């Protein structure tokens, strides 16, 4: 039997299965680069665009090429090559080194036998008709209804289907399929892809091959976690790849499905703010609520429920079921002493606030939180407006091509700058809580200054874009406006990038001086 014909013409892993026009990925940078290209990757300086989106088919094509190459080098079936590569975390050089130094040890570790192709075969011994399944323990099974993973442990087809289906349902994604071993606890023989495809049983609209391939794709992507990550959106099988020499820092990624996420933490896009600042920003609402309670309320003397004084009479009544009447100034009970006893009482601070300094700092932190929330919302609205204007520009008729391109670029730069300023609010809020020392306060003041300067530059660019888009000037005047706009775009891009780098430099700063 010819090895090439028998093992390597698998329709999933032959190059003929794929169209010739499959590319290595959809580039989101100014210059497209190829992950397997021998030439050095050409990267743009802007951190916004240094990645490639790979579809499920492209991922499958890559791992299929590696599996076919490994099978050819080792003269083994493709199913064996897949099991070997997965065991070695898709590291062919390390696999080749171990394989050619001690092939038997590698086979034992992976769970491969000495005779390729025996997996899933029924027993041919016609005299053996009284076979017993090792799972359901039913006897009188004919050999044609029994199968093994290439070892001595045979089970009926119904039990194999249940065993494979249970592995596919372990995590809802079929990851257990690629790590299956013989059901016998004392046996380490691997259950290969052919067995999974044959006995996979599911009511879903996917078959065993699809489930196994998707599990392999996830395993392949996760093994390359230093430069490749799966899209975290539910139901999306794409992956994001950055250049090997890149570190992914500062990258907000957008998959072709439209889902955006941070390369490092997998959360919502937040560059240039750090992941810690973004997590803190998400929980700031609870802290701000506590600070608001500390600043604006006092506890009921009886039930300790926080109560706000909205102005007017100092005599307050706690809500039911407490119902206590008390004086807001001294927190004394009016029910016991009467109102006249509190006519000239002394002010009592809320017991929750030990000192005036605590009240001052709580009020300051609360004010900063509300301010940064307003800044974030304002930049978000400005970003959406700029994106809307950029989209509309392409639909307007009668504009000169050069004018439309320049103005659209200006609006896109405004949108990106507003996104950066909005995300940076999380970093500013995190600095507010740790600005107790002199140097920490100076860093925060510098951040505030740079944030304000960048905001002013974006306002100027927006005004220039609006003027160029709405002015019906002569050709000479229009050329002048477009030249000014192009220069303003360059200045704004430089300013936004400088601000983003300055915010990134704050990531490693100590929380306290």
Residue 16 is predicted with a pLDDT of 39
429 and 303, same domain (yes or no): no
Is 433 a domain residue?
Answer: yes
Q: How far apart are CA 513 and CA 431, in angstroms?
A: 12
**In 10 A of CB 380, how many CB atoms?**
16
370 and 476, same domain (yes or no): yes
Q: What is the pTM of this model?
A: 0.66
Residue 97 is predicted with a pLDDT of 94
Kindly tell me the number of DSSP H helices and DSSP E strands found in the chain. 14, 12
Is 418 a domain residue?
Answer: yes
Residue 376 is predicted with a pLDDT of 92
Is 299 a domain residue?
Answer: yes
| Residue 135 backbone zone (phi > 0: left; psi -120 to 50: alpha; other: beta) | alpha
Number of domains present in the structure of the chain: 2
CATH number at residue 441: 1.20.1410
The pLDDT tens digits for 194-229 are 888 888 765 444 555 677 888 889 899 989 888 888
Q: Which residues contact 495 (CB under 8 A, 6 or more apart)?
A: 453, 454, 457
414 and 455, same domain (yes or no): yes
Question: Side by side, which strands form the sheet with 52-54?
Answer: 26-27, 52-54, 239-241, 228-230
Residue 402 is predicted with a pLDDT of 56
| Cβ(147)–Cβ(160) below 8 Å | yes
291 and 413, same domain (yes or no): no
What residues make up the domain containing 317? 275-342
Task: Output b/e per residue, 174-183; b: 16+ Cβ within 10 A.
Answer: bbebbbbebb
450 and 501, same domain (yes or no): yes
Q: How far apart are CA 395 and CA 414, in angstroms?
A: 19
Backbone angles phi, psi at 508, to 5 degrees: -90, 5
324 and 429, same domain (yes or no): no
Q: How far apart are CA 12 and CA 18, in angstroms?
A: 8
387 and 449, same domain (yes or no): yes
Q: How far apart are CA 302 and CA 309, in angstroms?
A: 17
367 and 325, same domain (yes or no): no
319 and 443, same domain (yes or no): no
* Residues β-bridged to residue 307: 298
Residues of the chain scoring pLDDT < 50: 1-23, 27-47, 123-126, 203-205, 352-353, 397-401, 512-513
Q: How many residues appear in the chain?
A: 513
329 and 453, same domain (yes or no): no
Residue 281 is predicted with a pLDDT of 79
Q: How far apart are CA 278 and CA 426, in angstroms?
A: 6
Residue 424 is predicted with a pLDDT of 92
Q: How far apart are CA 491 and CA 475, in angstroms?
A: 24
Alpha-carbon Rg for the chain in angstroms: 33
Q: Which of 342, 366, 395 is the last residue of a domain?
A: 342
380 and 410, same domain (yes or no): yes
The pLDDT tens digits for 467-484 are 887 776 667 777 888 888
């Amino acid at each position: 039997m010819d090895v090439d014909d028998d093992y390597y013409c698998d329709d999933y892993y032959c190059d003929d299965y794929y169209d010739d026009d499959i590319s290595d990925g959809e580039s989101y940078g100014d210059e497209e680069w190829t992950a397997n290209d021998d030439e050095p990757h050409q990267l743009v300086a802007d951190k916004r665009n240094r990645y490639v989106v790979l579809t499920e088919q492209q991922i499958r094509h890559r791992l299929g090429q590696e599996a076919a190459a490994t099978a050819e080098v080792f003269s083994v079936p493709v199913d064996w090559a897949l099991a070997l590569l997965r065991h070695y975390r898709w590291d062919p050089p390390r696999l080749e080194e171990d394989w050619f130094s001690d092939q038997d040890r590698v086979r034992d570790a992976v769970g491969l036998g000495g005779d390729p192709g025996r997996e899933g075969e029924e027993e041919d011994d016609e005299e053996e008709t009284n076979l017993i399944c090792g799972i359901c323990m039913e006897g009188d099974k004919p050999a044609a209804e029994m199968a093994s993973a290439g070892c001595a442990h045979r089970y009926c087809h119904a039990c194999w289907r249940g065993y494979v289906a249970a592995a596919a349902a372990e995590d809802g994604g079929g990851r257990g399929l690629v790590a299956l071993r013989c059901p016998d606890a004392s046996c380490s023989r691997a259950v290969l892809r052919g067995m999974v495809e044959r006995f996979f049983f599911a009511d879903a609209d996917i078959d065993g091959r699809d489930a196994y391939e998707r599990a392999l794709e996830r395993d392949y992507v996760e093994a390359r976690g230093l430069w490749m990550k799966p899209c975290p959106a539910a139901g999306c099988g794409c992956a994001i790849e950055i250049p090997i020499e890149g570190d992914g820092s500062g990258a907000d990624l957008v998959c072709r499905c439209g889902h955006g996420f941070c390369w490092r933490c997998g959360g919502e896009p937040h560059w240039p703010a750090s992941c810690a600042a973004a997590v803190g920003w998400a929980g700031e609402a609870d802290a701000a609520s506590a600070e608001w309670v500390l600043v604006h309320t006092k506890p009921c003397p009886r039930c300790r429920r926080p109560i706000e004084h909205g102005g007017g009479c100092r005599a307050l009544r706690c809500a039911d079921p407490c119902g206590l009447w008390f004086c807001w100034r001294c927190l004394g009970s009016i029910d016991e002493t009467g109102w006249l006893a509190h006519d000239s009482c002394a002010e009592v601070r809320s017991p929750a606030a030990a000192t005036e300094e605590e009240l001052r700092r709580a009020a300051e932190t609360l004010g900063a939180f509300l301010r940064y929330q307003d800044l974030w919302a304002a930049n978000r609205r400005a970003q959406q407006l700029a994106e809307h204007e950029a989209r509309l520009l392409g639909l307007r008729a009668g504009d000169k091509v050069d004018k439309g391109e320049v103005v659209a670029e200006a609006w896109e730069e405004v949108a990106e700058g507003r996104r950066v300023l909005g995300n940076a609010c999380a970093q500013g809020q995190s600095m507010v809580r740790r600005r107790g020392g002199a140097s920490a306060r100076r860093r925060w003041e510098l951040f505030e200054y740079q944030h304000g300067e960048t905001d002013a530059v974006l306002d100027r660019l927006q005004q220039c874009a609006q003027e160029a888009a709405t002015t019906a000037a002569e050709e000479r005047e229009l050329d002048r406006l477009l030249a000014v706009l192009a220069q303003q775009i360059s200045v704004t891009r430089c300013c936004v990038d400088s601000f983003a780098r300055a915010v990134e430099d704050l990531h490693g700063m100590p929380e306290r001086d």
